[in-house]
Amino acid sequence: MSDPVTRPVQTVAVIGAGPVGLAAAAHLLERGLTPIVLEAGSGPADAIRQWGHVRLFSPWRFDIDAAARRLLESHGWTAPDPDGLPTGAELIEHYLAPLARTPELAPHLRYDSRVTAVARLGVDKTRTIGREGRPYLVRTRDTEGAWSDLVVDAVLDASGTWGRRNPLGAHGLAAPGEDHAAAWAAGPLPDVLGAERDRFAGKRTLVVGMGHSAANTLLNLARLAEREPGTAVTWAIRGDSPARLYGGGAADALPARGTIGTRLRELVEAGAIELVTGFTVDRFTTRPDGSVAVAGSIGGVEHVIEADQVAAATGFRPDLEMLREIRLDLDATVEAPAKLAPLIDPNFHSCGTVPPHGEADLAQPDDGFYLVGMKSYGRAPTFLLATGYEQVRSVAAALAGDREAADKVELDLPETGVCSSSRSLEATSIADAGEAGGCCGTADSGRGTEGAASAGCGTPEPVAVGARGLATGVLHGRAGERRELPQLNAGGGCCG
């Protein structure tokens, strides 16, 4: 790969005005470079706004970029309580919106500008001779469909993955009848206890997936069921056990995240949530009343789940179509930069260490182009915000010609999952510790290297977290006394 600092760089397109995109702009400004931030939404962090009701499981101390902090504090801004756990809406209100309004940054933001393609100016992907050192052409489309072209020296794609959900069907493909626009399709992080309460109260909801997006929805649905008779919750996963999501409990260095798994396990064991394991989705059949029959198989035997709503919490994947004319070196499995992929592959890293990484690990064959933030993790779900902040700090240094600073990558991330930790839930009640959630798609933290379950753990060993009665197949929730549940959000989705 070519060294991006061997040619002069002045203007840098940053795709996405989420936490990582705005942090990139702040670092570029500090380096004397000119960022042009292109955001598809009408304001900063439009993706986060769509899950603004979700509370992060990482406290403010891990959610604020250093260059962004310096810029804000120069205008008298006071950071929130470092130990507080913001919702997505609070992350925007108290941090990202003020950052976007600063007089240094505001002139560089272009809203309602959706990037549809990126290319090297004057050549297509097949052209090699004379390719290196060429500027980039970034094509955008506004809300009325009009397009325009922007020519820049470098590009940082921090557009995240929120807009491209993984399908619910098996094989990585949408199942017959799967339709995101259907009346029963509730999306990945519905506002169960707020704006969409009436949609779920007294109804049957199926949650599919085994990440923190699924946990968030399940916990809120269980709380709703305590107050609204007839509310039924079914959780379907492809694996044979939910132990990975249950996690390390009190051993988690982010206590709020550990509480999520502990509480979810309690609800399953108490019968408040019916768990279906080993379930692969084969087809969806919409009923005349708007409900849906979700047909799948368990060990080769057909099983049908009837539901009024389906929450699709199966994660996201990057939009690579817009980059077809860029030469990319991506891992075939997780669609992340090839050097980064082995460090984050979810087949091997449910909790493991993500070493510090920066520009050198993110550089692509086309010099001056980088995937950063959540999008740099491809299909891996283990991104944390602080990792994205360190990525863009390193890239900005490299683009400015400071190779030493670019290569000196450092992060301080909390230990996660079932890794050893001196921190615990101690005597904190679920209601107090449980005001947390877990979303990184746009907000989390990191040591070693953006994702929800990787950092400072060493080589993970499999840990069995038992749930009475769990086995491959269907576990029907046991009837039992239910008690009032405190609100405990978990989070998912992420931004870049």
**Residue pLDDT tens, the chain, 496 long:** 444 445 678 999 999 999 999 999 999 999 999 999 999 999 999 999 999 999 887 899 999 999 999 999 999 999 999 999 999 999 999 999 999 999 999 999 999 999 999 999 999 999 999 999 999 999 999 999 999 999 999 999 999 999 899 999 988 899 999 999 999 999 899 999 999 999 999 999 999 998 888 998 999 999 999 999 999 999 999 999 998 778 766 555 555 566 788 899 999 999 999 999 999 999 999 999 999 999 999 999 999 999 999 999 999 999 999 999 999 999 999 999 999 999 888 777 543 457 778 999 999 999 999 999 999 999 988 788 999 999 999 999 999 999 999 999 987 765 543 222 222 222 222 222 222 222 332 222 222 222 332 222 222 222 222 222 222 333 334 333 333 333 333 333 333 3
**How many distinct helices (H) and strands (E) make up the chain?**
14, 17
The architecture in CATH of the region 170-313+460-475 reads: 3-Layer(bba) Sandwich (3.50)
SS (H, E, C) 304-355: EEEECEEEECCCECCCCHHHCCCCCCECCCCCCECCCHHHHCCCCCCCCCCC
Angle at 215 between CA 209 and CA 221, to 5 degrees: 105
The predicted pLDDT at position 157 comes to 98
- What are the tokens at 339? 């050097």
Those residues whose C-beta lies under 8 Å from the C-beta of residue 277, and which sit 6 or more positions away, are: 237, 239, 240, 241, 242, 298, 470, 471, 472, 473, 474, 475
Give me the CATH topology for the region 4-163+316-407: FAD/NAD(P)-binding domain (3.50.50)
Q: At what angle do helices 255-270 and 212-227 cross, to 10 degrees?
A: 50
List the chain domain ranges. 4-163+316-407, 170-313+460-475
Instruction: Report angle CA 339, 342, 348 to the nearest 5 degrees.
Output: 170
Q: Which two tokens stand for residue 318?
A: 């990057």
d(CA 311, CA 302): 21
HSE-CB for 61 with a 13 A CA cutoff:
10
Helices marked H in 50-112 — which ranges?
Answer: 66-73, 88-91, 97-101
pLDDT at 303: 96
Q: Please give the DSSP secondary-structure letter assigned to residue 1.
A: -
Largest separation between any pair of C-alpha atoms in the chain: 72
Tokens of 9: 């760089």
3 state SS of 267:
helix
pTM, two decimal places: 0.81
Q: Residue 39: how many CA atoms within 13 Å on its side-chain side?
A: 25
Which uninterrupted H or E stretch holds 218?
helix 212-227
**pLDDT score for 440:** 30
Q: How much helix, strand and coil, in percent to the nearest 5, is found in the chain?
A: 25, 20, 55
DSSP annotation of 394: H
* Bridge-based pairing state of the strands 274-276 and 232-236: parallel
Amino acid in position 152: V
Distance (Å, rounded) from C-alpha 379 to C-alpha 154? 24
Are 34 and 112 spatial neighbours (Cβ–Cβ below 8 Å)?
no
Per-residue confidence (pLDDT) for residue 170, from 0 to 100: 87
Instruction: Tell me whether domains 4-163+316-407 and 170-313+460-475 share a fold.
Output: yes
Cβ proximity of 79 and 69 under 8 Å: yes
Q: Is 389 in contact with 458 (CB distance < 8 Å)?
A: no
- Helix crossing, 19-30 with 385-399: angle to 10°? 30
Rg (CA), the chain: 22
Give the strand pairing for 154-157 and 369-371. parallel
